[in-house]
Amino acid sequence: MLKAVILDFDGIIIDSETIWFDIFNKWFKDNHQYDLPITEFTKCVGSEKEDLFIYLEDKYDFEIDRKKFEHDTIDLFIELTKDIPVMDGIEDFIKVVKKHNLKLGLCTSATIKKPTYHLNRLDLMKYFDAITTADDVERIKPFPDLYENALKKLNVKPNEVIVIEDSYNGLLSANSAGIKTIVVPNYVTKHFNFEEAFMIKNSVKEIDLKGLIKSWE
């Protein structure tokens, strides 16, 4: 029986990943005269930017100043996302989840400040039964820890949950926790191979939640 839906945050609720890519790309152009391709940027989507930094340092012999990167980019990101709209179709999808009396969780590799700020701003916080962030675990996506923590908070088993993700790291994390995952790729994450997903949809509007509930039963 389907008892809960767990949503990723970046790329599912708000499209912050496209903004981050533009920021990363500009920073590497300004500081390393390097045009960062999306295919390389995706190494840190849904996970940690350190994964990308290590890759670039090993491949191109860069010396990336982490403190300078944080100083140059964090305020810019906050400014560019302060009025970012909710992703198309997600608010209606959330309301359908609650209409069917399913629990709703959020599972993100971000720390708590960002999702809570945006969920409150968008008036979506009231729908969530549990929120799991990087503050709750030692290892973030692609490890299963975040989703395992979310299962405990929601008090459900892996076979009672469906996850909505947009990134390959998120898919690996949910699959490793034994949860079926619907992937909704966006402009950035469409470059991944999602053959291990339970389903792939172009939008949350395409997800037939009523049909999923019936198939679980």
Ramachandran bin of 200, using left for φ above 0, alpha for ψ from -120 to 50, beta for the remaining angles:
beta
Residue 88 burial by Cβ neighbours in a 10 Å radius (0-12, 13-18, 19+): exposed
Q: Is 8 a catalytic residue?
A: yes
Tally Cβ neighbours within 10 Å of residue 91: 17
Residue type at position 184: V
Q: Which of 8, 15, 145, 166 is catalytic?
A: 8
Is-contact 48 139, C-beta < 8 A?
no
- From the list 144, 139, 149, 130, the residue with the least C-alpha distance to 181 is 144
Please provide the DSSP assignment of 50-91 as one string.
HHHHHHHHHHH-----HHHHHHHHHHHHHHHHTTPPBPTTHH
Residue type at position 106: L
Distance CA 137, CA 55 (A): 24
**Phi, psi at residue 194, to the nearest 5°?**
-110, 35
Q: List residues with catalytic annotation.
A: 8
